[in-house]
Structure 1
């Protein structure tokens, strides 16, 4: 610029003042630009400045680290290439809305992290128009991967608790129905036994002959004994159903030795043949296995006592998911058409006058097996013996 030396001093002074003001304004603009650039570069979150075609015009250090590269290598590259395929449509939609001035500047997308693992990001976008009219999209990204993972964990935990609550509610309902049925059947059985005892006592009052009275007293004693047996069985049933089972490896050979020792009174003065068989170690509860084997052996000894020699045989079978343990005997057997009755509450396959018992033992066995995801059943033929089995899962899931 040239100045007219002939211009009056006042004009020159005004021009200098204008120039200095303009220079100050330019410096202020440069300072603001530098400050804005610094704010962009030093932002704590990844930040991108994109062209209207979605290419990176500028990226800060956090953004470059997110993409596992450097700002110099990233400039000019489309940011959508760093977004996972399932999030690209959401990202493109966000970019179009912002550049089109349609608002809705937030979106959630997934970036492919440097290690290949997806990173969940919340993008906040805004429109930036340069002085030359070029429209740019500024994007700030917040990593919410950990938050979403924690949310998913919490959701899964909540769903698991809800499922467990439904399971426990169903189990308590089932137990309530079962105990109600037990009480109804027990009331009937006890009522029958007590009515019989009362009738015998009434008959006894009318009898005068000593022999008749003695026989009636014997019948009364048997009825009372049967009633006591029912009460004892009910108590045992309730205790067995309320066992707090604990899963641990249990050696069935050790359990068998304990059961046979406990049943020694039933074996006295009898010819009993039981070949030795190696039993497996199962994951379960020691007390539960004791109850099962005790009931099976007590039944076998009861229904073979009319045989000159008692033949017992343990049988073991293994499947992919279960162990089958069976006890075979040469007793009186049963009709297979009644096989389910043996496991019903107070179910009896033989007359009480000939074979004592309340008919609760096998019902307890089945319910204990079912608590762990197992099963119990029987096979037999009339006068040709019986085999009672229980199947135990290799990975039990107790209720």
Structure 2
């Protein structure tokens, strides 16, 4: 404030004071006091001038603060304007009719039109005609409730370029009534859609290849089974001839030396072994071709039927057989009987020198499958050889010690795999073994329940 201004203020205060004194001539301590004491009037005027100066300083400080605040607000506005314009996705403000009120630079680039052009258009003008109804429904739902709505559309820029976008809209609330505007984000998802379509295409191609290869493998498997059936049936006749002529040689030369008799017996034993292996191989492939029907099966009843066949051997030996409750599974009762029969026969064979022989049948349940185990205290096996256990004609023990063809566990594996399960074993030499198989709670596939065409073998 200049000196002249200050003087004018003092003069005005003096005139106001004089008017007050003139209006109140009779008050004590009023104007009469100042007339009697001019020095008091001067002091009062000085005090009021000081107060005015203080207020002036306060106003100046407030003005500086307002200027600083305005600068900060402008800087923040510019910062948010940059964030809005250069955001990686497009932003629009629409009215209830879908007219574009405001757009950021990304949206102008996506739609291929400057802001002044967009401000006079509806967003529906940039929507693919096939998706216009979906956009109209999206816009109506945005204004129905103050929650975020999402839709995927195909948009078309002003230049005619198409791209897929995900629109996310949210109504902007008005305090005095229903919302009149909404904010919409445009997210370009063309790359994701193309990737999804490529994945679908590859999956379709892969499924076709898998189907072709599955068909090819099935054909090869059927050819192999036909070949095995033909070979095994064709070998029956020469084996029978070998046995017959060997017996006749023994009859023609009854007084032959011991070596001749021993050789003849070796031939007979080899023929018996060959016939046994052929019969086992036929049984293996017959089970593979057997009709399978997946129905609910109580494994307790399956095991009960199997134990009837093994009753003779169980009664003639000291066998402690314990059985835990078994579940009801989805499977084929006939082939599951073969699984239990092979596993129990295997346990009885390898506990032959144990007194007592202990065999325990147990079951476990997981979220996805049922697991059944057959545990024994037999001779066991070395875990380094576990990979050979379920192979066809694979044996871990000498035939002189334990008879067998090496087909039983291969049958178990084949049957369990047809049920969508798995097989494995655990054991230690001299400490017994446990053979496990699992069955899924839900069959992973439906196998043809009709019998396959029978193989006709010409002799």
Q: Give TM-score scaled by structure 1 length.
A: 0.55
Task: Find 1:338's aligned residue among 358, 366, 385.
Answer: 385
CA 1:328–1:83: 2 relative to 1, 3 Å: closer
The superposition leaves residues 249-291 of structure 1 with CA deviations (integer Å, 9 ceiling, x where unpaired) of: 2111111011111223433422221113101112222223112
Alignment of 1:291-330 (within 5 A): 291-330=338-377
The superposition leaves residues 122-155 of structure 1 with CA deviations (integer Å, 9 ceiling, x where unpaired) of: xxxxxxxxxxxxxxxxxxxxxxxxxxxxxxxx99
Q: Distance in 2 between matches of 1:384 and 1:286?
A: 32
SS at match of 1:364: helix
Q: Distance in 1 between matches of 2:216 and 2:134?
A: 52
1:115 aligns with none
Alignment of 1:54-93 (within 5 A): 55=121, 67=136, 84=151, 86-87=153-154, 90-91=155-156, 93=157
- The yes-or-no answer on 1:223 pairing with 2:292 is no
Q: Distance in 2 between matches of 1:220 and 1:110?
A: 81
- The yes-or-no answer on 1:392 pairing with 2:439 is yes
Q: Distance in 2 between matches of 1:212 and 1:363?
A: 38
8 A Cα contact 1:201 1:216, kept in partner: no
SS at match of 2:316: coil
CA 1:279–1:186: 2 relative to 1, 3 Å: same
8 A Cα contact 1:201 1:220, kept in partner: no
- The yes-or-no answer on 1:168 pairing with 2:234 is no
The superposition leaves residues 336-367 of structure 1 with CA deviations (integer Å, 9 ceiling, x where unpaired) of: 33222221111112222343221111112112
Task: Report the Cα offset of residue 297 of structure 1.
Answer: 0.8
Q: Distance in 1 between matches of 2:163 and 2:307?
A: 68
Q: Number of aligned residue pairs: give it.
A: 291
2:414 aligns with 367
- Which blocks of at least 5 consecutive residues in structure 1 are unaligned? 1-51, 70-81, 98-103, 113-153
8 A Cα contact 1:207 1:213, kept in partner: no
- Which blocks of at least 5 consecutive residues in structure 2 are unaligned? 1-116, 126-131, 139-148, 168-199, 448-459
8 A Cα contact 2:152 2:164, kept in partner: no
Q: Distance in 1 between matches of 2:204 and 2:388?
A: 42
CA 1:380–1:194: 2 relative to 1, 3 Å: farther
**RMSD across aligned C-alpha pairs, in angstroms?**
5.1
CA 1:380–1:67: 2 relative to 1, 3 Å: closer
Q: Distance in 2 between matches of 1:186 and 1:335?
A: 33
Alignment of 1:274-285 (within 5 A): 274-285=321-332
1:353 aligns with 400
2:318 aligns with 271
SS at match of 1:231: helix
1:253 aligns with 300
SS at match of 2:435: strand
2:175 aligns with none
8 A Cα contact 1:250 1:285, kept in partner: yes
Q: Distance in 1 between matches of 2:331 and 2:209?
A: 24
Q: Distance in 2 between matches of 1:343 and 1:223?
A: 25
Q: Distance in 2 between matches of 1:352 and 1:383?
A: 18
Task: Report the Cα offset of residue 304 of structure 1.
Answer: 2.0
8 A Cα contact 2:297 2:329, kept in partner: yes
SS at match of 1:339: helix
2:337 aligns with 290
Task: Report the Cα offset of residue 335 of structure 1.
Answer: 2.7
Q: Give TM-score scaled by structure 2 length.
A: 0.49
